């Protein structure tokens, strides 16, 4: 038998949602079967899937040990790297400048050295996160960027902050600006482009279309040309929609692939240039918050930027 006392990061959840996060090895069909069989109890009574957990509730699980992670398995993040560029931090969140080449979450390669694992390791060392005292919550990233894109990633340290920030991101109440280098000079110098994107998950690649297509999703990309020299331009980009590889694929479709991007650009164009990754950086994040932000009101109107964008026109010899 395992028991859990509901803490501040657990309360307010449905029981079935809490169990899915706390015991991820337990299949959903068995979860609901054990609820019916009264092998899952809340405050000594039969647990109901839709029950909303309150602070201090006692959840007891009379299920086999095989569904619980082995001791120490959940702390694999302690083997992650130590390098972390923190742009801002308070008791609720932190903003980190992710370097190009570092994946944000564990991917198919199973790498332990990820951005979120570095953050968890840092928070444990700082005494701000104690896995043994948490039942269902782990500090989590609120946004993600590609492995080979650099820039700002936002992490919530507690459940209320994660809930508010996820809602704000869904409602597009945070503005994320990107800087990138592209081949060519987009015309006009400021544009808002609309197209349709379809993802091929097997290839981890997307395709852009001018007209709607089956399984396609609308994309809107706004850009400004900041500087141009000898056929290479520095752009600022605002995503009105946030789709996989949107900037890379959409700009390539418009005839302006990113410098260093061989997935959507050409190898010949990049030959001889000192770029191991696409020249793309999520350089600025602004908390616009046109609606109430609960305990995060103090962030309203604040804007954060990376200390240095890791590429320039000069890197192209221009």
8 Å CB contact between 4 and 57? no
Residue 58: CA atoms inside 13 Å, Cβ hemisphere, count?
7
Over 60: is that where the pLDDT of 280 sits?
yes
Report the range out of 6-10, 64-68, 243-247 with the highest average pLDDT. 243-247
Per-residue pLDDT at 68 exceeds 90 = no
Average pLDDT over residues 63-89: 82
The answer to whether the CB of 213 falls within 8 A of the CB of 196 is: yes
pLDDT of 73 higher than 80: no
Structure tokens at 115: 């951005």
Averaging pLDDT over each range in 2-11, 126-135, 212-221, which range is the top one?
212-221
Distance between CA atoms of residues 238 and 256, nearest Å: 16
What single-letter DSSP state applies at residue 70?
P
CATH classification of 175-316 is 3.30.2350.10, yes or no? yes
Element (H, E) at 113: none
Catalytic residue numbers?
146
Q: Is residue 44 classed exposed, middle or buried when 0-12, 13-18 and 19+ CB atoms within 10 A define those classes?
A: exposed
Angle, CA of 41, 138 and 82, to the nearest 5°: 150
> What average pLDDT does this structure show over 52-57?
93
Which range, of 46-55, 106-115, 157-166, averages the lowest pLDDT? 106-115
Residues 178 and 88: their CA atoms lie apart, in Å, by 18
Domains 2-67 and 175-316 share a fold: no
The correct CATH number of 2-67 out of 3.40.630.30, 3.40.50.2300, 3.40.1360.10, 3.10.290.10 is 3.10.290.10
> What contacts 217, CB < 8 A, 6 or more positions away?
196, 197, 198, 241, 243
CA gap 278, 201 in Å, rounded? 20
pLDDT, average across residues 279-283: 97
Q: What is the mean pLDDT of residues 126-138?
A: 89
Give pLDDT, residue 71.
Answer: 52
Tokens, residue 165: 């920030």
DSSP-H helix ranges across 59-154: 115-125
**Domains of the chain by residue range:** 2-67, 78-171, 175-316
Check whether 72 has a pLDDT greater than 70.
no
Q: Report how far residue 147's alpha carbon sits from residue 11's, in angstroms, rounded to the nearest whole number.
A: 34
> What whole-number percentage of the chain has pLDDT above 90?
75
Cis peptide leading into 265, omega within 30 of 0? no
Share of the chain above pLDDT 70, in %: 97
What is the dotted CATH code of the domain comprising 78-171? 3.30.2350.10
């Amino acid at each position: 038998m395992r028991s859990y006392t509901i803490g501040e990061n657990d309360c307010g959840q449905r029981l079935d949602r809490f169990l899915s996060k706390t015991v991820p090895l337990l299949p959903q069909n068995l979860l609901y079967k054990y609820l019916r069989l009264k092998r899952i109890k809340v405050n000594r009574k039969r647990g109901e899937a839709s029950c909303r957990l309150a602070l201090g509730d006692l959840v007891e699980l009379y299920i086999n040990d095989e569904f619980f992670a082995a001791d120490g398995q959940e702390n694999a993040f302690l083997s992650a790297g130590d390098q972390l560029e923190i742009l801002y931090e308070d008791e609720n969140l932190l903003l980190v400048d992710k370097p190009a080449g570092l994946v944000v979450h564990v991917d198919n390669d199973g790498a332990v050295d990820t951005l979120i694992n570095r953050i968890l390791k840092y928070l444990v060392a700082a005494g701000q996160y104690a896995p043994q005292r948490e039942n269902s919550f782990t500090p989590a990233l609120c946004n993600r960027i590609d492995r080979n894109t650099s820039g700002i990633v936002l992490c919530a340290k507690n459940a209320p902050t994660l809930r508010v920030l996820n809602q704000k991101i869904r409602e597009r109440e945070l503005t994320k600006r990107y800087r990138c280098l592209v081949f060519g000079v987009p015309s006009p110098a400021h544009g808002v482009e609309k197209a349709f994107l379809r993802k091929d998950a097997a290839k981890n690649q997307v395709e852009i279309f001018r007209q709607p297509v089956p399984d396609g999703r609308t994309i809107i990309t706004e850009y400004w040309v900041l500087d141009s020299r000898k056929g290479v331009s520095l752009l600022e980009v605002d995503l009105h929609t946030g789709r996989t590889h949107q900037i890379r694929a959409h700009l390539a479709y418009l005839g302006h692939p990113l410098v260093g991007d061989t997935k959507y650009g050409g190898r010949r164009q990049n030959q001889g240039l000192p770029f191991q990754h696409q020249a793309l950086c999520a350089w600025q994040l602004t908390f616009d918050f046109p609606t109430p932000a609960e305990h995060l009101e103090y962030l309203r109107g604040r804007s954060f930027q990376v200390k240095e964008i890791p590429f320039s026109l000069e890197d192209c010899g221009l």
